[in-house]
Amino acid sequence: MKDLVERLDKLLRAFEKYSDFVRGSINSVCAKCNRAYCICETKTSRRAYRLTYKNSEQKTRIVYIPESRLPKIRKMIANYSKSRKIIEQIIETNIEIFKNEARR
Ligand SMILES: [Zn+2]
């Protein structure tokens, strides 16, 4: 039981570490025509970056993000996937704790 409580404690601390997260994926489009594959007559190499995500109603949404924020937002997306894994582990650990308590 002590092991389980310690494991839970570790997981909660890990969750906090990755709690700065966002869901979605980053893609880029031409800054002029707004398409992934540029159709402009005079090509520009300038790209606009956006985050595509699903809101709480599962509707796909797009938000433009400044290029300077890309590294930070990429990190936040990675944090989200780590957080989800940790949440699953927290649930499993709590279930183990319940089982242990029921055996007493
Ligand atoms: Zn274009």
Report CA(32)–ligand 1 centroid distance (Å): 5
pLDDT in tens, 74-84: 999 999 999 99
Report CA(13)–ligand 1 centroid distance (Å): 46
Residues 22 and 53: their CA atoms lie apart, in Å, by 9
b or e along 38-47 (b: 16 or more beta carbons within 10 Å of the residue's beta carbon)? beeeeeeeee
Report CA(70)–ligand 1 centroid distance (Å): 21
pLDDT in tens, 11-63: 999 999 999 999 999 999 999 999 999 999 998 889 999 999 999 999 999 99
Report CA(64)–ligand 1 centroid distance (Å): 16
Q: Which is nearest to 46 in space by CA: 75, 26, 66?
A: 66
Instruction: Give the per-residue pLDDT at 1.
Output: 83
Instruction: Give the per-residue pLDDT at 45.
Output: 86
Report CA(74)–ligand 1 centroid distance (Å): 24
